[in-house]
Structure 1
Amino acid sequence: MKASVDTRVWTTLTGDALAEDAVEITGPESVLPGTFRVEEAATTSIAAATLAAGELLRLRGIEPGKVSVDTRHAAASFHSEHYVRVDGEPVPFSAPLSGDYRANDGWVRLHCNYPRHVSAVCWGLGVPATRAAFEKVVAAKSKYEVESAVVGAGGAAAVLRTRDEWLAHKQGQASSALPVADIRPLGTSEPVRLFESDRPLGGVRILDLTHVIAGPVAGRVLAAHGATVMHIGSAQLPTVPPLAVDTGMGKLSAYVDLETEAGRSRLRKLIARADVVLQGFRPGSLTAKGFSPEAIAELRPGIVIADLSAYGWEGPWARRRGFDSLVQMASGIADEGGKAAGLDGPGPLPVQALDHATGWLTAAAIMTAVRRAATEGGSQHVRTSLAGTGEWLNSLGRKEAGPAGFDGGEWLEDVDGQLGRVTRVKMAGTLPGSNPQWTEATHVPGSDRPVW
């Protein structure tokens, strides 16, 4: 069967139908293991972002040319953190306590990639931070008891649910109604003026207040299309080194401590001269610091604000911490994957598809919103979620189980930068009018000044 894209995504983003010949898809339909159509999700989300960049080129009077995506390149791009190397060596990271644990009535996943999440599990379950202690206490409890205790302590966990169980849950019902992206006007203002450039996002300043994969991938895509992207982190917050190297391509990296008034004042100054704020804080966290979408729009009329969350902006879990693996567990994806593979337990997707697809879709929505701000005026509010992406992936149907392995080596390149010689996956998506590219490799975290 020929590889394809889901044209519904473009219609959701723009309100327009996608012409039949708008995108050329090359490569086989099935590249990755499993029966979920991860390849179609990858090619569609990459195509959407590339098409959105093309429309910005068209707005600048430049013919974008025909967009093309290769399914093999898309698959490698959706597993980019797996391929990243510095001076030929993998970037070390260990999270030995993260994983799937068997309770007395099923399975629950504990997310322990960060010290604060480990502490929450220890506090919520009353155990020391060892794998053996976690396994023992979880085995003696019900899966829902474990989930409730860990989440209640401020941690991140999810029970392995079937699809039917998820749809019977109030959050599942709320998430099932989510679009892949929501773009709405936020206040009125004169149309913004784009600086002259031969790149889709040339002259556009983007504040990237995200972490892990989905949000940073969105910023990485925008940087490849010409934006000046400044990632804002903090020396007080932990990072996952392979992800920081992989998703920092093309970005500035600065530290701002938002727990201090001086840091918040600095962020307000950055926002006042920015065109886009992309944020992936736990829902409500940035608002509590004085940076609600409305407050940001007041600081900079005509700005685009993009909010990325795990479970979406509706339902009882709208403020819950979540990650790709947890959304797969909760929504029935991991249950179906495990059963299809003959496992006694969860079977995740072959790549972090919810993260990567959400990142590319968020980038597509942001570029669409930038175009609206330039043509119609007004600040624009973009919302995306891992759960919404998961619902979309589920709607694509299933394929024959794909091959057991995938190399992806032909899509790699080496670049020199502050960290050394970095091996990375080349930017996916062909745009003849202005092919996407990163102008430099990942910066040392916090090495840039937080000024435009």
Structure 2
Amino acid sequence: MAHASLVELIKLAGLPASAADAVEIAGTEPVFATRYKPVAPGAAAMAARGLAAAELWALKTGRRQQVRVNMRAAAAALRGSRYLRINGEKPAEDPEKITGFYPLRDGRWMYLHCNFFNLRDCNLAVLGAPQQRDAVARAVAKWDGLELENAIFEGGGACSFVRSEEEWRALPQMQAVARLPLLEIVKIGDAPAQPLPAGDRPLSGVRVLDLTRVLAGPTCARTLAEHGADVLRVTREDLADMGPTDFDTGIGKLCTHIDLRNPPEAETMRGLVRECDVFSQSYRPGALAHHGLSPEALAQVRPGIVYVTLSAWGREGPWSGRRGYDTVVQSANGMAWRPNNERPAFLPYSAQDYVAGYVLAFGAMVALARRVREGGSWLVRASLAGAGHWILQHGVLEPSEYAHLPVELPADELRPLLMEHESPIGRITHLAPVVQMSETPARWARPSVPRGYHKPVWPPRG
């Protein structure tokens, strides 16, 4: 199943099915107790990005290499942030967190996403409730699901009425998602062919601007760093961060603050763009255009750029402009739904986030290879809902096939998958790279750092 998924993915990128012959995917699904089968598409996406890195290495050196992915390690990578430890300690949960499922007036369920203060405040404003879980529950219980969902989205928040798969399939948004491919790689401008920078890794000297948040987008940029890219994460000082999660997805990256509302800092951003190779962002479709950072604008500023963009719901359909995150999409597309109106529950994976992130990293490297061969500026697109649709297409398991499975890998199996590094905040424990490459092993050259730790300048190439 995973090999077939790999072939499907690489064919989407215009590569021959025979390219998958250089890849070994070992193991089977299921791994953890869930009716869904995300590990096959997840392992395929990880293998595909290893294959793309190997192709870039072949373009630089003429040498081929083998790529290997173990499906049990891939399963861990689809929930990688939960293995993060700082100085040996698991990061503490926020005791005032109000994100979660709440029963509605008719007994059905609503999911509220309040992990960012701006979304929390928008959600609470619609509900007219203080930041107390009991008060939020009482407020939600006064609403019908669709009415509250629409009110929160119109108010700038993030949520989802918890739907079954059948209800999701009936929605115009699902039909819009199904019409789009999982991955799009589109030429958006002319530019001369550009060779890869010199260096001893597939992406040595390749510069990546990372304007993404949470998991999928940061995972894409972290993956490029695994193969040698210089990744500069750009955030804004007054924006809420994801706390410890940032230290997991921030491995291998530089990190700086830029406020695009400040003209001198906006000019600094344009200077960084002129010297970058990949620009990655996860804002809602069109949100960066008024800052002059649309794909078309950057193709003019920096001919030959690879512009990577992630959205929650895809670029088409009535929800295309809505905010969304993995848990919001799981609540909408049936993954979190439980029969008989039981309390919803998420998959034991952040599978849509990680699959989308690895698919985008694969697409970015395919676009870089096209830039070497034929030139041009390129747009790479994917969405969380598209990743979810791909996972759902892999079908479901019977309870007898997964009910006996554990919720975690055995300690003696998990231990070799972990690694440590020293950072400015202490000793960080996290998953090691899962993709194994015979000649250019994936690794990170930089530690995780706090937000804004570096100046907004590129390091020397090479």
Corresponding letter in the other structure for 1:276: V
Conserved? CA contact 1:124–1:152, under 8 Å: no
Matches within 5 A, 1:225-240: 225-240=227-242
Corresponding letter in the other structure for 1:312: G
Corresponding letter in the other structure for 1:345: R
Is residue 46 of structure 1 aligned with residue 46 of structure 2? yes
Report what 1:82 is aligned to: 82
Matches within 5 A, 1:187-202: 187-202=189-204
Report the Cα distance in structure 2 between the residues aligned to 1:199 and 1:329, rounded to whole angstroms. 40
Report what 1:393 is aligned to: 391
Conserved? CA contact 1:57–1:433, under 8 Å: no
SS of corresponding position for 1:31 = coil
Report what 1:433 is aligned to: 439
RMSD: 1.5
Equivalent in 364, 367, 385 of residue 362 of structure 2? 364
Equivalent in 359, 372, 376 of residue 374 of structure 1? 372
Corresponding letter in the other structure for 2:11: T
Bigger shift: residues 440-449 or 9-18: 9-18
Matches within 5 A, 1:9-20: 9-19=9-19
Report the Cα distance in structure 1 between the residues aligned to 2:65 and 2:191, rounded to whole angstroms. 32
Return the TM-score normalized by structure 2.
Answer: 0.94
Report what 1:171 is aligned to: 173
Bigger shift: residues 351-360 or 91-100: 91-100
Report the Cα distance in structure 1 between the residues aligned to 2:311 and 2:262, rounded to whole angstroms. 24
Report the Cα distance in structure 2 between the residues aligned to 1:96 and 1:29, rounded to whole angstroms. 34
Conserved? CA contact 1:23–1:67, under 8 Å: yes
Report what 2:448 is aligned to: 442
Query: Gaps spanning 5+ residues in structure 1: where?
Result: none
Bigger shift: residues 278-287 or 250-259: 278-287
Report the Cα distance in structure 2 between the residues aligned to 1:82 and 1:343, rounded to whole angstroms. 28
Shift, 1:20, TM fit: 5.7
Corresponding letter in the other structure for 1:417: S
SS of corresponding position for 2:217 = helix
Matches within 5 A, 1:257-272: 257-272=259-274
CA distance 1:219–1:20, shift in 2 (3 Å): closer
Conserved? CA contact 1:101–1:107, under 8 Å: yes
SS of corresponding position for 1:215 = helix
Report the Cα distance in structure 2 between the residues aligned to 1:206 and 1:258, rounded to whole angstroms. 18
SS of corresponding position for 2:13 = helix
CA distance 1:343–1:351, shift in 2 (3 Å): farther
Report what 1:411 is aligned to: 417
Report the Cα distance in structure 1 between the residues aligned to 2:227 and 2:144, rounded to whole angstroms. 48
Corresponding letter in the other structure for 2:74: A
Corresponding letter in the other structure for 1:366: A
Report the Cα distance in structure 2 between the residues aligned to 1:252 and 1:43, rounded to whole angstroms. 27
SS of corresponding position for 1:244 = helix
- The count of aligned residue pairs is 447
Conserved? CA contact 1:87–1:421, under 8 Å: yes
SS of corresponding position for 1:30 = coil
Report the Cα distance in structure 1 between the residues aligned to 2:247 and 2:51, rounded to whole angstroms. 27
Report what 2:158 is aligned to: 156
Shift, 1:440, TM fit: 2.3
Conserved? CA contact 1:163–1:333, under 8 Å: yes
Shift, 1:253, TM fit: 0.5
Report what 1:33 is aligned to: 33
Report the Cα distance in structure 2 between the residues aligned to 1:315 and 1:391, rounded to whole angstroms. 15
Shift, 1:167, TM fit: 2.1
Report the Cα distance in structure 1 between the residues aligned to 2:137 and 2:228, rounded to whole angstroms. 48
Shift, 1:288, TM fit: 2.1
Conserved? CA contact 2:124–2:130, under 8 Å: yes
Bigger shift: residues 100-109 or 396-405: 396-405
Report the Cα distance in structure 2 between the residues aligned to 1:412 and 1:155, rounded to whole angstroms. 36
Report what 2:61 is aligned to: 61
Report the Cα distance in structure 1 between the residues aligned to 2:179 and 2:345, rounded to whole angstroms. 25
Report the Cα distance in structure 2 between the residues aligned to 1:346 and 1:194, rounded to whole angstroms. 48
Shift, 1:19, TM fit: 4.6
Shift, 1:93, TM fit: 4.2
Corresponding letter in the other structure for 1:89: E
Conserved? CA contact 1:93–1:241, under 8 Å: no
Is residue 92 of structure 1 aligned with residue 92 of structure 2? yes
Report the Cα distance in structure 1 between the residues aligned to 2:18 and 2:156, rounded to whole angstroms. 43
The Cα offsets for residues 23-72 of structure 1, whole Å up to 9 and x where unpaired, read as 21223422111121121122111001101111101111242322110112
Shift, 1:409, TM fit: 2.9
Report what 2:324 is aligned to: 322
Shift, 1:201, TM fit: 0.7
Conserved? CA contact 1:56–1:371, under 8 Å: yes
SS of corresponding position for 1:69 = strand
Shift, 1:321, TM fit: 0.4
Conserved? CA contact 1:92–1:241, under 8 Å: no
Shift, 1:343, TM fit: 6.8
SS of corresponding position for 1:363 = helix
Report the Cα distance in structure 2 between the residues aligned to 1:365 and 1:68, rounded to whole angstroms. 19
Report the Cα distance in structure 1 between the residues aligned to 2:18 and 2:109, rounded to whole angstroms. 42
Shift, 1:127, TM fit: 1.7
Conserved? CA contact 2:2–2:41, under 8 Å: no
SS of corresponding position for 2:288 = helix
Conserved? CA contact 2:192–2:375, under 8 Å: yes
Is residue 250 of structure 1 aligned with residue 252 of structure 2? yes
